[in-house]
């Protein structure tokens, strides 16, 4: 892949945001039941609470309202009451970079001054938003830039769904006044939990956020348009189908435990056989809902013909598609991307065995927005060797 040469635009946004008063509750991130309870606790009569939830929900998640003033179907006095108790809070967008291929990378600041990256990838038939679930990651996959960053903290449900809302704000992806809902095609049509962090290590917040994103009377993204990618946290995998219902992607990346231990150290805790067993039992897997096996192509590490044949053998019987990811290099990375001819040959073997084997086109490489390159500017503290060793030992 050649590096893009066209100029890159970088905006540093300086929109001042009103900080919430201490003691106010953020509406964003509360599920319908939690919102109902919070409204009642703040004085909304119980009999009205359900209707108020519906109204506020519509304003926030269908129309993108950012304050209570504009909620014109609520009485003025009630709007004032809401403003005394609640706010509508999103991560603050601190910068936006646009790649020559149209990919956009946002830096979103969350409470505590931490920053996470959010990437928008426009394609002909869809627009995918790649969101983060943690600041940093506890895992230490050796080819992943995020893995060199310490886990700072889990994101809250508000911060996870808030990334989608923040990007919709920037892209003007809410219905405009006078526009019928759904009149304009949506720019963000798909969500992938493939940014920073291991989503299954922040399960509850990810689930709550995705439930809000999937709510049919709100952001309304179908569960089939949301993909959660995990490095293989085996005990949480079934919950993903049961409690979220979205599509599943597995960072597989190797065909022997020896190599996978090195690439995805969580493999020491849950090795390939255990992972595959969990996937065989995955409640949702079917021919129409295949599990995606992500496979990063690392030169001379996992890209041989034998690997391709072993991969096919291993996943036999699992409704699967295989997504080959040319390694996205980052400064100091200990690996190289496999040659193009090698990747094609690997894809060919898989295709001949009857699996779809798309090669993921690297996007946004010029702005370090590609898979696995995400890393916040403020959290560059590298883990020490001892810390990494300790975590791998633990994993
Ligand atoms: N933590 C989750 C989701 C985030 S990573 C997980 O590991 O699945 C999203 C995908 O990008 C994963 O498949 C990950 O293994 C892959 N990835 C990480 N670093 C990469 C890199 N430098 N080049 C290509 N893919 C990478
Ligand atoms: Fe964490 Fe995923 Fe990167 Fe591994 S690949 S270090 S699990 S973000």
Does the residue 6 lie in any domain?
no
Residue 8 lies in a domain: no
Looking at the fold, whether 52 and 65 belong to one and the same domain comes out as yes
Q: In a mutational test of the pocket of ligand 1, which residue from 296, 323, 362 has the highest number of ligand atoms less than 8 Å from its CB?
A: 296
Kindly state whether residue 245 falls inside one of the protein's structural domains.
Answer: yes
**Please, how many CA atoms are within 13 Å of residue 46, restricted to the half-sphere of its CB?**
0
Q: Which two tokens stand for residue 56?
A: 């506020």
Residue after which a domain boundary falls, among 88, 113, 130: 88
Kindly state whether residue 16 falls inside one of the protein's structural domains.
no
Query: Domain count of the chain?
Result: 2
Same domain, yes or no: 261 and 355: yes
* Residue 117 among the catalytic residues: yes
Element (H, E) at 55: helix 46-57
Mean pLDDT of the chain: 87
Q: Which 8-state DSSP code applies to residue 257? A: H
Q: How far apart are CA 272 and CA 141, in angstroms?
A: 15
**CATH number for the domain that contains residue 72:** 1.10.150.530
Query: Does position 101 have pLDDT exceeding 80, yes or no?
Result: yes
Q: What separation in angstroms does the CA of 395 have from each of 11, 155, 229, 301, 371?
A: 39, 21, 18, 22, 23
Same domain, 217 and 156: yes
What's residue 71's pLDDT?
A: 95
Query: Residue 236 belongs to what H/E stretch?
Result: helix 234-239
Residue 395 lies in a domain: no
Tell me which of 67, 88, 109 is where a domain ends. 88
81 and 118 fall within a common domain: no
CA-wise closest residue to 111 among 20, 244, 246, 206: 20
> Do 210 and 239 meet the contact criterion of CB atoms below 8 Å apart?
no
H or E segment to which residue 377 belongs? none
Cα–Cα dist 222/245, whole Å: 10
Distance CA 112, CA 136 (A): 14
My answer on whether 315 and 333 are in the same domain is yes
Decide if 104 is inside a domain. yes
Could you tell me the sign of the dihedral formed by the alpha carbons of 35, 39, 40, 41, in that order? positive
Is the predicted pLDDT of residue 167 greater than 60, yes or no?
Answer: yes
Q: Which helix (H) or strand (E) holds 133?
A: none
Domain that residue 33 falls in:
29-88
Q: Binning pLDDT at 50, 70 and 90, where does residue 367 land? A: low
In this predicted structure, the answer to whether residue 103 has a pLDDT above a threshold of 70 is yes
CATH number of the CATH domain containing 176? 3.20.20.70
- Ligand 2 site-directed mutation target among 146, 155, 294, most atoms within 8 Å of CB: 146
**Tens digits of residue pLDDT in 26-85:** 999 999 999 999 999 999 999 999 999 999 999 999 999 999 999 999 999 999 999 999
What is the predicted pLDDT for the residue at 5?
45
Question: If you ran DSSP here, which 8-state letter would residue 345 be given?
Answer: H
Q: Ligand 2: which atom is nearest the Cα of residue 147? A: 6
Q: Is 17 a member of any domain? A: no
Choose, from 117, 198, 365, 391, the residue flagged as catalytic. Answer: 117
pLDDT level of residue 20 (50, 70, 90 thresholds): low
Residues 139 and 84 in one domain: no
Which of 61, 88, 115 is the last residue before a domain boundary? Answer: 88
Assess whether pLDDT exceeds 80 at residue 376: no
Q: According to the model, what pLDDT value does residue 369 have?
A: 61
Cross-strand bridge partners of residue 295: 324
* Mean pLDDT lowest among 24-38, 108-122, 212-226, 363-377: 363-377
Compute the average pLDDT of residues 304-318: 97
Q: What is the pLDDT of residue 276?
A: 98
Model confidence at 286, pLDDT cuts 50, 70, 90, reads: confident
Check whether residue 73 and residue 188 sit in a common domain: no
Q: Hey, whose CA ends up nearest to atom 4 of ligand 2?
A: 141
What percent of the chain has a predicted confidence (pLDDT) above 90?
Answer: 68
Q: Domain check: are 72 and 97 in the same one?
A: no
Name beta bridge partners: 86: 25
pLDDT score at 149: 76
Select the highest-mean-pLDDT range: 105-109, 156-160, 357-361: 156-160
Nearest-angstrom CA–CA distance, 304 and 349: 11
Q: Residue 16 pLDDT > 90, yes or no?
A: no
**Domain identity same for 96 and 83:** no
Residues 36 and 133 in one domain: no
Q: Is residue 10 part of a domain?
A: no
C-beta 327 within 6 A of ligand 1: yes
Q: Report pLDDT for 3.
A: 43
Do 187 and 322 sit in the same domain of this protein? yes
What does the pLDDT read at residue 18? 53
Residue scoring higher pLDDT (306 or 140): 306
| Mean pLDDT calculated for residue range 231-248 | 95
pLDDT category of residue 386 using cuts at 50, 70 and 90: very low
The answer, yes or no, to whether any atom of ligand 1 lies below 6 A from the CB of 143, is yes
My answer on whether 360 and 270 are in the same domain is: yes
């Amino acid at each position: 892949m050649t590096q893009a040469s066209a100029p890159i635009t970088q905006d540093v946004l300086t929109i001042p945001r009103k900080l919430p008063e201490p003691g106010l509750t953020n509406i964003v991130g509360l599920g319908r039941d939690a919102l109902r309870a919070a409204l009642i606790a703040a004085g909304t009569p119980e009999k009205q609470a359900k209707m108020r939830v519906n109204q506020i929900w519509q304003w926030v998640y269908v129309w993108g309202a950012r304050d209570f003033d504009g909620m014109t179907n609520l009485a003025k006095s009630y709007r004032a009451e809401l403003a005394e108790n609640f706010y509508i809070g999103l991560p603050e967008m601190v910068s936006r970079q646009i790649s020559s291929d149209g990919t956009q990378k946002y830096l979103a600041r969350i409470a505590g001054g931490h920053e996470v990256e959010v990437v928008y990838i426009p394609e002909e038939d869809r627009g995918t938003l790649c969101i983060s679930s943690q600041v940093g990651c506890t895992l230490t996959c050796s080819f992943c830039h995020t893995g060199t960053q310490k886990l700072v903290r889990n994101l809250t449900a508000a911060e996870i769904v808030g990334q989608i809302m923040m990007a919709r704000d920037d892209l003007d992806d809410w219905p405009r006044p006078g526009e019928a809902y759904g009149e304009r095609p949506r720019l963000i049509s798909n969500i992938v939990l493939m940014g920073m962090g291991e989503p299954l290590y922040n399960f509850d917040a990810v689930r709550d956020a995705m439930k809000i994103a999937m709510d049919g009377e709100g952001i309304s993204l179908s569960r089939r348009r949301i993909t959660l990618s995990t490095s293989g946290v085996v005990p949480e995998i079934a919950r993903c189908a049961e409690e979220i219902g979205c599509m599943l992607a597995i960072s597989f990346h190797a065909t022997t435990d020896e190599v996978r231990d090195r690439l995805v150290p969580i493999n020491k805790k849950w090795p390939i056989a255990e992972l595959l067993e969990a996937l065989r039992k995955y409640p949702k897997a079917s021919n129409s809902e295949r599990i995606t096996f992500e496979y990063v192509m690392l030169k001379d590490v996992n890209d041989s013909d034998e690997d391709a044949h072993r991969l096919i053998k291993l996943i036999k019987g699992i409704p699967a598609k295989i997504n080959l990811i040319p390694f996205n290099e980052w400064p100091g990375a200990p690996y190289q991307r496999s040659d193009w001819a090698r990747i094609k040959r690997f894809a060919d073997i898989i295709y001949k065995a009857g699996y779809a084997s798309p090669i993921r086109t690297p996007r946004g490489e010029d702005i370090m927005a590609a898979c696995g390159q995400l890393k916040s500017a403020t959290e560059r503290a590298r883990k020490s060797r001892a810390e990494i060793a300790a975590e791998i030992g633990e994993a």
